[in-house]
């Protein structure tokens, strides 16, 4: 087909050339035809979720009952409040309300984002975002601002040892030891030197990094998380728009795209951008009007219609553009758009709570393709050679290595590096090895390849979501215990490690064990004193990238087994994946240095592992393991696509009318909560206790207002027919809040493991939840 098109193009050019030869005067004298000036009007519609933009690590959260997070248009709003109702400690009868001494500890905010970044890369980050910085916009005259936090791991065990804190207006960082962490070397200042825990980030890097001449391969300080905090008792209210970290700007602003996923009853934001072109042949567009009719499953949220003027959002008016919403329809009065002019409109819409996918079948998941490649080669005596196996284009290398045969000289092959590379734009796995023996060795490079895009299902595809963690030093040059040193690299929680890589810069290192547990990859290495080596991994997200308003779930499993390797024997073991799965990474472990791995061979849904036991007298054990990904992503629930289309018209002739309409879709999944009372829900079916004098004084429930107006409600907890806790309260629109519900006299004996029925009542009705007490 390509050749036919090329021939057709050649024939066309030949015909044009012939015509030019026949009528040269006509071609030479004809004037160039100019395009008739026309409007170049277009409209683009996008939709954004009101949910979290960045993933905060809930395990590291230190936000109190009266510290709050709210995702808003421009970022993450953080605020504290003096909520007297949350005070549950006994107070004198003469003091009916709580005092700030009791209130203060709960007025705190501390949140982190996970990372795995060398502190040196933070200090030496490139411009323009080289300095760790929080872009915070306070509301009104509230005086407190969040501090910047870095959690730093000093001994490479994956756990932070110290916390570095900098206030927004100070260049210096204060270091404190985290409980259970490795003690750190303090800075010194003055003459004579005096220890201090305050200094620049560069000074801390110098103090926390072991002397490279004495310990050239010692663990280097690594930032495991970065974030922000507001001290207990501080009143704060404002929006974090972004955080600068390691040369990157992490935005917290709402993300708008062509499609998102939402649940019944949720509120979403729409943006319409109307623009007129600015080419040399464009002209102003007269009588420009906009119309947008919301679908039946949506309702316009009153008072949310805004027009963007510069960086400000203004209420529509004669000066910016008189637009109105009536009967769920947006209309904008006619106006002129000059060349190059644009306007953006924003409004909110609420999905009906009655949207349901109940009874509809789930659609089949997306196919995931895994391929393998191998390259055979020989290593001559004394030769160092790199052998490479290459993946197809648009596949990523998830695993690789060198398969050896114990017979002959393969026992004396030393692998110096085994890592991902690229060949002609395609991912590949390269292994560099040296033959230290006296015979030629036969070797085979192996690579496992995973397609970066899953197959089509329901008319759409998804891209896999993955990240690569930087190679970091492993073995220690001065480590006297050179037999069985453990090295580990961790992915974010929930991610699956793949592509375990290593490289030896000097000395000799033999990888005895290489395996995964949860989100961490472990190596056990035997090495000569003076060895310098580095290790790295990549991380596969549990879900794909979003497409058609949703993400697809991967089916991941990691089966393992133990095999026996006889004395002075080469043994092979096969570890298979569950049915309908493919193996993408192999892991292994020889229990002693006598058991040497000779590599692995991927075989579709299984891995073959080869070991040699150098022990003369007894059999030894070895573990084998595979990480498997399902041949299909998980079945996708049926989504009800709520499509909203906006139109723009002009009385001027338009060059292209195909871009005068634009749609944004919301894939509504899940079913509504029965009897949802005005959008007040429990975010988790668990309650924690507050205890004083061995009595339960209150239950804490995490509640959310999903409405665009504040939610007023009464919450009551029952044990059988007994009322055990009660409170009337309110939550700001679209906010989540921990509600502390004081117990009644019948609730004082509530204990861990008890179950209660929680009822939330509003003017719209009552919803009941079965809740367990978990503390």
pLDDT digits (tens, 9 = 90+) for 340-351: 999 999 999 988
> Tokens 């709210």 map to which residue?
70
Phi, psi of 672 (to 5 degrees): -70, 150
For 509-520, b/e burial (b = at least 16 CB within 10 A) is: bbbbbbbbeebe
For tokens 């917290």, what's the residue? Answer: 252
What one-character-per-residue DSSP string does 365-408 give? --B--EEEEEEEEEE-TT-EEEEEEEPPTTEEEEEEEEEE-STG
pLDDT at 143: 67
Q: What is the pLDDT of residue 403?
A: 84
pLDDT at 87 over 60: no
What pLDDT score does 10 carry? 33
Write out the two tokens for 382: 């004394």
User: Which pLDDT belongs to residue 411?
Assistant: 58
> What is the pLDDT at residue 676?
52
DSSP string, 151-197: EEESSSSSS--EEEEE-TT-S-EEEEEPTTPPP-PPEEETTTTEEES
Q: Classify the phi-psi angles of 507: left when phi > 0, otherwise alpha if psi is within -120 to 50, otherwise beta.
A: left
Coil, strand or helix: which one is 143? coil
Is residue 699 classed exposed, middle or buried when 0-12, 13-18 and 19+ CB atoms within 10 A define those classes? buried
Reported as type and span, the H/E element at residue 5 is: helix 2-22
pLDDT tens across 644-682, in order? 899 999 999 998 999 999 999 888 876 544 445 557 888
3-state secondary structure of 473: strand
DSSP letter for 744, please.
Answer: -
User: Strand order in 606-613's β-sheet?
Assistant: 569-576, 606-613, 595-602
Q: Is the pLDDT of residue 223 over 50?
A: yes
Do 70 and 735 form a contact (C-beta atoms < 8 A)? yes
Nearest to 295 by CA among 643, 664, 44, 639: 643
Cβ atoms 597, 611 nearer than 8 A: yes
How confident is the model at residue 708, as a pLDDT?
65
Q: What integer pLDDT is reported at residue 16 of this predicted model?
A: 27
Mean pLDDT of 354-382: 78
Closest CA to 208 of 153, 247, 246: 153
DSSP string covering 250-277, please?
A: EE-SPPEESEEEE-TT-EEEEEEEEEE-
Contact partners, residue 731, CB within 8 Å, separation at least 6? 680, 703, 704, 705, 710, 711, 713, 737, 739
> Of 427-431, 639-643, 675-679, which gets the smallest average pLDDT?
675-679
144: confidence class by pLDDT, cuts 50, 70, 90: confident
- What's the pLDDT band for 509 if we cut at 50, 70, 90? confident
- The answer to whether 288 and 273 have CB atoms below 8 angstroms apart is no
Q: Which of 412, 418, 407 is nearest to 382 (CA)?
A: 412
Enter the tokens of residue 281.
């042949």
Peptide bond into 377 cis (omega under 30): no
pTM: 0.65
pLDDT at 508 over 90: no
CATH architecture of the domain covering 680-773 = Sandwich (2.60)
The 3-state DSSP class for residue 49 equals strand
Question: What pLDDT is stored for residue 31 in this prediction?
Answer: 41
Q: What is the CA radius of gyration of the chain?
A: 32
DSSP lists the bridge partners of residue 47 as: 257, 270
Instruction: Please say whether the beta carbons of 146 and 229 come within 8 A.
Output: yes
Summarised one tens digit per residue, pLDDT across range 689-747 is: 898 888 998 999 988 887 766 777 878 888 887 788 888 788 887 788 889 998 888 88
What local confidence, expressed as pLDDT, does residue 483 receive?
A: 66
Determine if the peptide bond prior to 192 is cis (ω within 30°): yes
pLDDT digits (tens, 9 = 90+) for 147-178: 999 999 998 888 899 999 999 778 899 999 99
* Whole-number Cα distances in Å, 408 to 440, 565, 573, 730: 8, 19, 21, 78
**pLDDT at position 90:** 40
In 3-state terms, what secondary structure has residue 26?
A: helix
Residues sharing a CB contact under 8 Å with residue 514, sequence separation 6 or more, in sequence order: 500, 521, 522, 523, 524, 587, 588, 589, 597
Question: What is the per-residue pLDDT for 96?
Answer: 45
Distance CA 558, CA 736 (A): 36
- φ/ψ of 2, rounded to 5, equals -65, -40
DSSP structural state of residue 77: E
> Given a cut of 50, is residue 7 above it in pLDDT?
no
pLDDT in tens, 281-315: 899 999 999 999 998 889 999 999 999 988 889 99
**387/272: higher pLDDT:** 272
Assess whether pLDDT exceeds 80 at residue 637.
no
Residue pair 508/531 in contact by the 8 Å Cβ criterion:
yes
Distance CA 11, CA 14 (A): 5
Nearest to 157 by CA among 104, 116, 127, 109: 116
Taken in order 71, 73, 74, 78, is the CA torsion positive or negative?
Answer: negative
Lowest-confidence segment of 101-105, 212-216, 373-377, 684-688 by average pLDDT: 101-105
Higher pLDDT, 473 or 241: 241
In sequence order, what E strands does 439-479 have?
A: 441-451, 466-468, 472-473
In this prediction, residue 33 has a pLDDT band, given cuts at 50, 70 and 90, of: very low
Judge contact between 737 and 85, C-beta under 8 A.
Answer: no
| pLDDT of 30 strictly over 60 | no
Q: What is the mean pLDDT of the chain?
A: 82
Q: How far is CA 175 from the centre of its chain?
A: 28
Q: Output the six-digit token pair for 213.
A: 């001449």
Residue 436, phi then psi, degrees to nearest 5:
-95, 5
CA dist list (Å): 676 to 297, 349, 606: 17, 18, 48
pLDDT-derived band at 357, boundaries 50, 70, 90 = low
| Residues 6+ positions from 480 with CB-CB distance below 8 Å | 529
CB 196 within 8 A of CB 188: yes
| Percent above pLDDT 90 for the chain | 31
Which CATH code fits 370-630? Answer: 2.60.120.690
Between CA 304 and CA 198 the distance in angstroms is 47
DSSP calls for 397-420: EEEEEEEE-STGGGGGEEEEEEEE
pLDDT the model gives residue 650: 93
Instruction: Map tokens 């002739």 to a residue.
Output: 653
CATH topology of domain 256-360+648-668: Immunoglobulin-like (2.60.40)
Q: Judge whether residue 179 has pLDDT over 80.
A: yes
Half-sphere exposure of 118 (CA within 13 A, CB side): 15
| Distance from C-alpha of 695 to C-alpha of 750, rounded to nearest angstrom | 8
Q: Bigger pLDDT: 217 or 54? A: 54
């Amino acid at each position: 087909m390509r050749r036919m098109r090329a021939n057709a193009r050649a024939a066309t050019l030949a015909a044009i050339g012939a015509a030019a030869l026949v009528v040269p005067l006509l071609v030479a004298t004809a004037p160039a035809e100019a395009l008739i000036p026309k409007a170049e009007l277009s409209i683009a519609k996008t939709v954004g979720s009101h949910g979290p933009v960045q993933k905060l690590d809930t395990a590291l959260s230190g936000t109190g009952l009266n510290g709050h997070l709210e995702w808003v248009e421009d970022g993450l709003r953080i605020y504290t409040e003096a909520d007297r109702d949350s005070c549950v400690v006994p107070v004198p009868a003469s003091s009916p309300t709580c005092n700030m001494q009791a209130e203060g500890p709960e007025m705190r905010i501390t949140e982190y984002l996970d990372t795995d970044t060398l502190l040196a890369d933070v200090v030496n980050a490139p411009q323009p975002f080289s300095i760790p910085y929080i872009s915070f916009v306070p509301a009104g005259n509230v005086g407190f601002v969040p501090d910047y936090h870095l959690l730093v791991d000093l001994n490479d065990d994956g756990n932070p040892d110290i916390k570095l804190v900098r206030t927004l207006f100070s260049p210096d960082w204060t270091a404190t030891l985290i409980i259970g962490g490795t003690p750190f070397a303090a800075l010194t200042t003055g003459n004579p030197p005096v220890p201090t825990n305050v200094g620049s980030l560069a000074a801390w890097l110098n103090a926390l990094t072991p002397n490279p001449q004495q310990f050239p391969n010692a663990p280097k300080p690594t930032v495991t998380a970065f974030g922000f905090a507001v001290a207990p008792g501080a009143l704060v209210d404002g929006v974090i728009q972004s955080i600068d970290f390691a040369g990157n700007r992490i935005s917290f602003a709402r993300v708008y795209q062509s499609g998102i996923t939402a649940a019944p009853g949720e509120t979403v934001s729409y943006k319409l951008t109307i623009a007129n072109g600015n080419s040399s042949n464009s002209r102003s567009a007269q009588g420009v009007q906009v119309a947008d009719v919301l679908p039946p499953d949506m309702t316009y949220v009153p008072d949310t219609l805004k027009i963007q003027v510069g960086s400000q959002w203004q209420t529509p008016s004669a000066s910016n553009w008189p637009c109105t919403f009536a009967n769920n329809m947006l209309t904008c009065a006619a106006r002129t758009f000059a060349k190059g002019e644009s306007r953006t409109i924003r409004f909110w819409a609420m999905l009906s709570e009655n949207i349901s996918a109940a009874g509809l079948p789930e659609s089949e998941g997306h196919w995931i393709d895994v391929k393998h490649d191998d390259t055979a080669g020989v290593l001559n005596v004394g030769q160092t050679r790199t052998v490479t196996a290459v993946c197809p284009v648009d596949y990523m290398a998830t695993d690789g290595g060198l398969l050896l045969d114990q017979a002959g000289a393969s026992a004396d092959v030393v692998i110096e590096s085994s890592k991902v590379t690229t060949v002609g734009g395609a991912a590949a796995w390269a292994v560099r090895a040296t033959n230290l023996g006296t015979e030629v060795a036969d070797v085979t490079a192996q690579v496992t390849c995973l397609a970066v895009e899953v197959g089509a299902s329901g008319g759409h595809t998804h891209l896999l979501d993955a990240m690569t963690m930087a190679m970091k030093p492993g073995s220690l040059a001065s480590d006297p215990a050179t037999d069985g040193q453990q090295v580990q690299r961790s992915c974010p929680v929930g991610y699956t490690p793949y592509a375990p890589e290593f490289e030896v810069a000097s000395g000799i290192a033999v990888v005895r064990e290489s395996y995964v547990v949860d989100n961490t990859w472990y190596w056990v290495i035997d090495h000569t004193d003076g060895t310098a080596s580095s290790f790295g991994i990549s991380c596969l997200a549990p879900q794909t990238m979003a497409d058609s308003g949703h993400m697809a779930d991967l089916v991941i499993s990691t089966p393992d087994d133990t095999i026996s390797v006889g004395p002075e024997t080469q043994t092979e073991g096969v570890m298979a994946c569950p049915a309908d799965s493919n193996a993408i990474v192999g892991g292994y472990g020889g229990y002693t240095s006598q058991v040497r791995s000779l590599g692995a061979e991927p075989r579709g849904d299984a891995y073959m592992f080869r070991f040699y036991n150098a022990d003369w007298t007894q059999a030894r054990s070895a573990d084998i393991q595979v990480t498997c990904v399902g041949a299909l992503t998980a079945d996708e629930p049926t989504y009800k696509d709520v499509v909203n289309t906006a139109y723009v018209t002009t009385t001027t002739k338009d060059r292209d009318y195909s871009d005068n309409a634009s749609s944004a879709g919301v894939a509504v999944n899940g079913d509504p909560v029965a009897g949802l009372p005005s959008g007040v829900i429990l975010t988790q079916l668990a309650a924690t206790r507050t205890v004083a004098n061995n009595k339960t004084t209150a239950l804490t429930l995490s509640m959310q207002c999903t409405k665009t107006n504040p939610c007023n409600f009464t919450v009551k907890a029952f044990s059988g027919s007994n009322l055990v806790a009660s409170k009337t309260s309110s939550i700001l629109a679209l906010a989540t809040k921990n509600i502390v519900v004081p117990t009644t006299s019948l609730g004082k004996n509530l204990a861990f493991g008890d179950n209660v029925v929680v009822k939330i009542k509003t003017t719209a009705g009552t919803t009941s939840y079965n809740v367990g007490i978990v503390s």
